[in-house]
Amino acid sequence: MIAKNLNEIYGTLSETLNELLKLGYTHDFNIKEECIVCDKSNISLSPEEFKIDQVYRFEGDSDPEYQAVLYAISSEKFNLKGTLVNGYGLSADETSSKLIEKLETHQKNNNIVENKSSNATPLRPDGERMLNGPLVELDINESIQKIKSEATWAKSDRNSMTLFKSESMTIVLIGLHAHAELKPHKAKGPICVQIVLGKIEFGAAEQITQLNQGQMIVLQENITHHVKALEESFFILTHLNR
């Protein structure tokens, strides 16, 4: 693939980083208190010294609750371009309010390019499914068949599909082959797991529970948990965004 412009959706996070590199975004920035820094070049930029050219959002497959935000950044003052990946949300304890305001404002603007597939799923064309609206109808059985028809399901131990996404809530349908696992992780908001098909083992707070078809479990935020499929299973994960 040849990179053409910032408005394209290139696929996974790593694929997008590679394409932005071809467009000249060569510096790797990190957040540090009141600025962003490139340790390799020893460059530090305050919010006034850079602009955000584009924002991309990605959903993880091994951890469907994980969401990475990729910023394409440029600075006329220093004549440079680079990227910043923020996967865990912006913390006021670690970052200045001015920097948080600049990054969050650009996440919410109309230029955001959202990857509607998981990192392991081939990109689903834009407009294929409605992910948000006043009323969104969902056919779970049809979505399961879609997941099982994709190459990712045949080649790996899982596949997932975002069914609904808004600023306040995300709903994901996740399919796991028998014995597949989602490693221990946390969510920044409450979650609900509802089993559609199969049987899973859900572990949290030193408690392990088996959930069968038709059962569900609710978990508060910031509690480490893991999932293991005891047989081929599909479940709906509802995540309240915080």
What would the pLDDT profile of 130-174 be if each residue is shown by its tens digit?
Answer: 677 788 888 999 999 999 998 889 888 888 888 888 888 889 999
Final residue in a domain of this structure, among 75, 91, 115: 115
Full domain range(s) for residue 33: 13-115
What average pLDDT does range 200-211 have in this prediction? 94
pTM of the shown model: 0.56
With respect to residue 1, please indicate whether it lies within any of the assigned structural domains: no
pLDDT in tens, 47-102: 889 998 888 877 654 444 456 778 899 999 999 999 988 754 444 444 555 676 66
With respect to residue 5, please indicate whether it lies within any of the assigned structural domains: no
Query: In terms of domains, do 64 and 95 share one?
Result: yes
pLDDT at 65: 46
With respect to residue 7, please indicate whether it lies within any of the assigned structural domains: no
Of all residues in the chain, the percent with pLDDT exceeding 90 is 37
Give how many domains the chain has, as a whole number. Answer: 2
Whether 173 contacts 139, CB under 8 Å: no
Query: In terms of domains, do 147 and 103 share one?
Result: no
The CATH number that applies at residue 183 is 2.60.120.10
The structure tokens 């859900």 sit at: 202
Query: In terms of domains, do 60 and 89 share one?
Result: yes
- Strands 51-59, 113-118: pairing kind: parallel
DSSP 136: -
